[in-house]
Structures are given as structure tokens and as C-alpha cells.
Amino acid sequence: MKSASTYRAVQAVSKGKLELTEKPLVDPPAGHVRIRVEACGVCHSDSATVEGILPIAWPRVPGHEAVGRIEVIGSGVEGWKVGQRVGVGFLGGSCGYCDYCRDGDLVNCTNQGYTGVQQDGGYAEMMIAKASGLIAVPDDLSSVDAAPLLCAGLKYARRMGFEVVAIDRGGGDRAELSKKLGAHHYIDSSSTDVAKALQALGGAQMVLATASGGKAVAAALGGLRRGGVVISLGATDEPIELSAFDLLFRQLGVDGALTGTSKAGDATLRFSAMSEVAAMIETMPLEKAAEAYAKMMSGKARFRMVLTMT
């Protein structure tokens, strides 16, 4: 039995190194809550913290796909209850007073910390989170199922009524897995001209580029129909090469998205519960976080890795 004044956490201490530690329990400051974490997804973006890709002051607890129950509510917090199950995603909560917040653009708040990067995240039994960033978790969605949905949506496109094309390198089991995840079509980019294949299907209205690479984004442009847009989700500093002609004559768009508002997070989880869309997950206990992280990074994890705390 652990003592009540400390909790277990796994923190990044140096490049590539995660270690289990005990941290002293603290009360949430004003505007924040303390959450007893039940599950936390292990995401490729955690490498920003563990490998120091973003500027990090180690030690830092990674994890921006955390789900748990509110244990203590800080002063000035309204609208949330002790015992309520909540999620904490990458965006740590908007400030409410910057230019962007006042204009209703909460995602682009300039005073918003990144969970697991600028403040400790969910690879822990406890975490402190800003109330404005909390996401409500529906009762009929388990914590392990909800966790990866705070960041990665896998099967939504088909349930939302789109004709879905998955593009990946390799055939066989990848094609099979894509179909399981809801794709109607599969394009093997290692053996097929992606742009031609997409055009043969009528051209894509939207391409979500999850791969980290400017070339993959550029390659997708050729597969868009007129007025189509490619949204880059993979974190990379590789430049995206494109022709002004594409923008002019085909009215193509290139955009990026970090994540949505906390209210969009509520809607995502409700949609998942109502349409019974869940990510395919593999769970591991918190103390095996380093192993779960290594498995995810190696590309050998077929499913989303999720840490459990109980």
C-alpha cells in the first residue's frame, strides 16, 4: 500500500529515459482540479517530451490522453463535481482573457500550456489540470476506451458517412487492418501512385495526413479534387513543397490542426459512446510505461497502448 501523501508517476528524466518515481501529493491551485488518473494513452507525440523534441525542462511526466476522476477542486472552479470522470488532452486549458480567447478561438489561446510538455501529464496516479481544459467523459465509455480518443480518432470517418480511403506503405495485413478500422478502399503508397489512385476514385475532398513528412503531404495534393484540402496532423519541420498553380487553378488548401476545443472533446466522446466506436487498444500497467512507450515507438504496437493505474 502506498502512503496517502505521495503518488506514483513515470517521468522522463533525460533523452529517451523514463523512470518510475514517487511524487508528493499537492492541492490544485486556483482554477485547477486534481484528478485521480485511471488510464492514459501512450501517443507518438509523447516523444516530444521523452526525446526532448520540444523544449523540455526534465523531469517531466508525459501523457496527454489522460482519463480519471476529479478528487479535489481548486478555488474558483465552477461546473465540475468531485468524483466526475474527466479527460485531459494535449491543450491544457484556455486562459479566457487573451485576444484569441476573447474572440472565441480557444484552441489558439496564447496562454495555454501543453499537457505532458509544459506541465505534468497522465503517466501518473494523480495529475493537476486546468478546469477550462477538462473534457466530460460519458458514463457508458470506459476510461481505457476514452483515453486514446482524446487525441486519436480512428474509425470516425466512416461512421460520419464519408467514403474512406486509407493510404499506407505496404500491402497484406495493413490493407486488412485499414478495412477493419473502417476504410472502404486501401492504397499501398509503396507500389501505387497515390494521386492517380485517389483521382481514379473521383478525387479526395479532404486528406488527413497523419504521417510525419512534408513529402507525404505534398503527394496527397495531387489526389485532391478541386477545392479539396489536405490537413497536416503529423508533427514535422520538413517543408511542404507545393505549386502555386495548384492553389490558383484547383483552389486547393493546405491546413494544419493541433486538436479541438474541450467542448469538441466532449462531443467526440459522446459520439464514440453513441455510435460504439472505440479504438483498438492494448493496456499495460503504469509501472510498465517505458515498455509501452518503446513498443509504440518501435512501430510494433498494432493497437493504441493505454496505461492503467489500478
Give the DSSP letter string of 275-295. HT----EEEEEGGGHHHHHHH
Distance CA 109, CA 226 (A): 32
SS3 content of the chain, % helix, strand, coil (to 5): 25, 30, 45
User: Candidates 146-154, 158-166, 167-175, 264-272 — which segment interacts with Zn ion by CB under 5 A?
Assistant: 146-154
Q: How far is the CB of 150 from Zn ion (least distance, A)?
A: 7
Residue 264, SS3? helix
CA–CA gap between residue 196 and residue 166 (Å, rounded)? 14
Tell me how far, at minimum, the Cβ of 65 lies from Zn ion, in Å. 5
Rank residues 111 and 190 by Cβ distance to Zn ion and give the closer one.
111
- What residues numbered 78-117 form the site for Zn ion, per CB under 5 A? 94-95, 98, 101, 109, 111
Q: 119 vs 224, which CB is nearer to Zn ion?
A: 119
Q: Which is nearer to Zn ion, 223 or 265 (CB)?
A: 265
Find the binder of Zn ion among 42, 151, 221, 252 (CB under 5 A): 151
CB of 105 to Zn ion, least distance (A): 9
Distance from C-alpha of 157 to C-alpha of 145, rounded to nearest angstrom: 18
Within positions 21 to 80, which residues make up the interface with Zn ion, using CB under 5 A? 43, 45
For Zn ion, the binding residues in 184-243 under the rule CB under 5 A are: none
The SS3 call for residue 104 is coil
Cell of 159: 461512421
Binding site for Zn ion (CB under 5 A): 43, 45, 94-95, 98, 101, 109, 111, 151
